[in-house]
Amino acid sequence: MGPPLGQLQREQYDVAVIGAGAVGCATARELAGRGYRTILVDRGDIGAGTSSRSSRMLYSGLGYLAVRYPLWQMLFRPGDMLRRLLYTRAVMQCRAELVREMPQHLTRHRFHYPFRKGDRYPPWLVDLGFRLVEALGGWKVPLSYRRISPQEAAAESALAAGLGGPLRGVGMFEEYMYAWPERICVDTALDAERRGATIRNYTEVTEIERISDGWHITLVERAPKAEGQARIRSRLVVNAAGPWIDRVSGGGTTGRKHVIGIKGVNVMIRLPDAYKGQGLEAFSSKGEPFYVFPWGEHHFIGPTETVVTGNPDDIHVENSEIDYILGEANRLFPDLGLTRGDVRHCWCGVRPTSTIDGRTPSLPVRIAETPEMPGLIAVTGSTIMLHRHAARKAAKTVEKWLGKRNAPPRGMIAGPDRCPEGQGIGQMAAREHVVRLVDLVRRRLPDGLNPELGRDRAEELSRIAAASLGWSEERRQEELRHFESDTARVYRQL
């Protein structure tokens, strides 16, 4: 467990990382491994924000090459196309890194790409795009892309056979899904801790004050049945709070906007059993990327892409968004006739897209420094796939400010992330910064991602957590109620 908050009073750190999502955890891991005294804090649990609302796909990046302007203008916008190519190369390099280093977190599936008459992108251009994406990744983890006739595809795949026409062909390729994205955040944070970082979840930053040689940061306890606060000092602050970056105290005092929130909604549905384990990538009627993702016995479909300006805490799934996704799915698979009654549950998240001018989304991962607030660094525009890439960029910026450090000897640094093996659930609860029942069910264990959303095991796991963490029966019942209310907050059931 993290140290009591009172023990941190007046502690001095090289870097304070705010936000324990995928990027914040990876940044703390990278910095601790490079020898910086690092603290990672989050007002909630590790991986409980945007990282837990992702589409769970190790995306190959074809959509990043898709442009919204007329195709003929591509020749006259070389700067934009170069940025897209560089970003896609980073995506594919990170894809290969994750496949190599954390295979236990991934599952591989066959995906389909339907070619329809009247599509904006002709088949030859999509073929070229897939080959280019593979080449940008150095062919290290091939997509195994091929385009075949509708008849051949229907003979190979029930999902392809269910596609409505008129079809000009079907692309087949291999892609990966995150088996458990929240666990990636937890494992990365634990690896940061093994490298020497201090981890404090349920710890809110309420004030960031500039001092002569760095920052004073006020931390307040947010765990239930606990109180306290501490004021620490840090030479640098890395703001990795995702879509909340501009809402962190002190993070947006200049009025400069670092991120634009893009809301994505997904719905969970049980499609025909013959579709199990297979996915689909397409473009919606709006020209936006649209997917059918395999998830155990079910599939989830989406996402939407809507710019939002409100507090991400207050973003919820709207009926119109569900209807849009079902309409697009029925356009692809007209024989299914999906309705709201087929929706098991749905959820949404807000992707923190970088912006330079505060109005226009900017594709690359950015390390934003504010001249008026030297030593306050914001990391924007990353996805889970790019979390290590973003962390390395942040670490290079830290090195520019503080100089390189003598990293711990190689043998002192933990190896690639590993899921706990041979560890009981009670030990996991005691050792992995579990504060609430929902932390255990949804982020330390995979039960919170099952079709029942963990409700089928909540009672059993609450008893294990109570025995391990010393909860009273009153506290255990409170945790069960909180788990149910949190599940209702995150997931909408029709």
CA distance 150 to 42: 50
Q: How many CA atoms lie within 13 A of 357 on its CB side?
A: 3
Instruction: Judge if 189 and 221 occupy the same domain.
Output: yes
**Do residue 252 and residue 364 come from a single domain?**
yes
Say if residues 217 and 16 touch (Cβ distance below 8 Å).
yes
Looking at the structure, do residues 360 and 406 belong to the same domain, yes or no?
yes
Give the gyration radius of the chain's Cα atoms: 23
Long-range pairs, 70-73, Cβ under 8 A, ≥24: 71/120, 71/121, 71/125
Express each pLDDT in 84-119 by its tens digit. 888 888 888 999 999 999 899 999 999 999 998 888
Assess whether 429 and 405 both reside in one domain.
no
Domain span at 459: 425-490
Residues 251 and 210 in one domain: yes
Are 406 and 429 within one domain?
no
pLDDT recorded at residue 83 = 83
pLDDT for position 328: 96
- Let me know if residue 297 belongs to a domain: no
| Residues 202 and 242 occupy one common structural domain | yes
- Is position 165 within any domain? no
In a domain, 430, yes or no: yes
Nearest by Cα to 116 from 155, 157, 72, 160? 160
- Rounded Cα distance between 334 and 304, Å, is 20
Give the pLDDT of residue 409. Answer: 53
- Are residues 213 and 246 both part of a single domain? yes
The model's pTM: 0.93
The 8-class DSSP code of residue 492 comes to B
Structure tokens at 92: 């594919």
Rounded to whole angstroms, the Cα distance separating 242 from 15 reads: 18
Q: Based on the structure, what is the number of domains in the chain?
A: 2
Question: What CATH number did the domain enclosing 230 receive?
Answer: 3.50.50.60
Residue 216 within any structural domain of the chain: yes
Domain contains 133: no
Is the same domain home to 371 and 484? Answer: no
C-alpha to C-alpha distance for 45 and 436, rounded to whole angstroms:
9
435 and 482 within one domain: yes
Are residues 250 and 187 located together in one domain of the fold? yes
Residues in Cβ contact with 38 at an 8 Å cutoff, skipping those fewer than 6 apart:
13, 14, 15, 16, 17, 28, 31, 32, 192, 196, 197, 198
Nearest C-alpha neighbor of 240 from the set 46, 438, 14, 11: 46
Q: Is 475 inside a domain boundary?
A: yes
In a domain, 173, yes or no: no
The residues of the chain scoring below 70 in pLDDT are 1, 61, 71-72, 249-255, 408-423
Q: Pull the structure tokens for residue 20.
A: 């324990």
Residues 435 and 396 in one domain: no
Is residue 156 one of the residues assigned to a domain? no
pLDDT score of 423: 63
